[in-house]
Copies of this chain bind each other. A is one copy, B any other.
Amino acid sequence: MNSVKVATAKMLAKTVNGVAVDDLFNTIDAIKATPAIAKFKFRIRNQWVDAGQNCSTADTFYGAGQEQSRPKPFVLEADEPPVLLGKDSGANPVEHLLHALASCLTTSMVYHAAARGIHIEEVESSLEGDIDLHGFLALDKNVRNGYQGIRVNFKIKADVPDEKLQEVGQLGPGYSPVFESLTNGVPVSVTAERL
């Protein structure tokens, strides 16, 4: 084989669903050898703009044993629609929560399918969650402030039998950090000081 064919064959062997599976298994081996590198700290900073409008930046995090940073921070905007007294300059916080859930379920599915050698062609999902403002507005103590329930539906294109397709669909819930955080709950400490 010429060098182009060799390079192509090597690339095909190492990448499933766009995921470099050799790197994934190397990561697992590295963590087995040095468990401390599995510890990550993710961060954002947020700044209030006006009313329901505010803005987060995500740049640095700690992981794989060292501080990590992006060349340029990611900027994430939030606002509320007019019916919730905002100016609708961005998705609102509870929509961002659904995005966090959808993106994490999808990535977890795709990575864990790649580790199993399952090729996925397309994935789409739609999410819907219920909130009753009686909670947020403190009008009824029996109504929770947050989501009462969230429904996720995945559509997956992959050349696998129906049973395997259902197994793939459960990889997200099985491994997703956001799904696990949101369904089981996370301790969150909140402190305040004067600026």
A134–B78 CB distance below 8 A: no
A192–B156 CB distance below 8 A: yes
B35, B63, B177: the one contacting A83 at CB < 8 Å is B63
B91–A189 CB distance below 8 A: no
Q: Residue A7 at the B interface, CB < 8 A? A: no
B43–A126 CB distance below 8 A: yes
Q: Which residues of B contact A12 (CB under 8 A)?
A: none
A-B contact pairs, 18 of them (CB 8 A): A20-B85, A44-B126, A44-B127, A46-B126, A46-B127, A56-B98, A56-B102, A76-B103, A93-B104, A93-B107, A96-B178, A136-B175, A146-B180, A151-B191, A152-B190, A162-B194, A169-B190, A181-B182
Asked, given contacts A19-B85, A102-B54, A192-B156, whether A44 binds B95 with beta carbons under 8 Å apart, the answer is: yes
Q: Which residues of B contact A175 (CB under 8 A)?
A: 136, 138, 145
Q: How many residues of A contact B (CB 8 A)?
A: 126
Q: Which residues of B contact A128 (CB under 8 A)?
A: 41-43
Q: Which residues of B contact A153 (CB under 8 A)?
A: 190-193
B146–A181 CB distance below 8 A: yes
A47–B98 CB distance below 8 A: no
A50, closest chain B residue (CB): B18
Q: Which of A106-136 contact B (CB under 8 A)?
A: 106-108, 110-111, 120, 122-136
A62, closest chain B residue (CB): B128
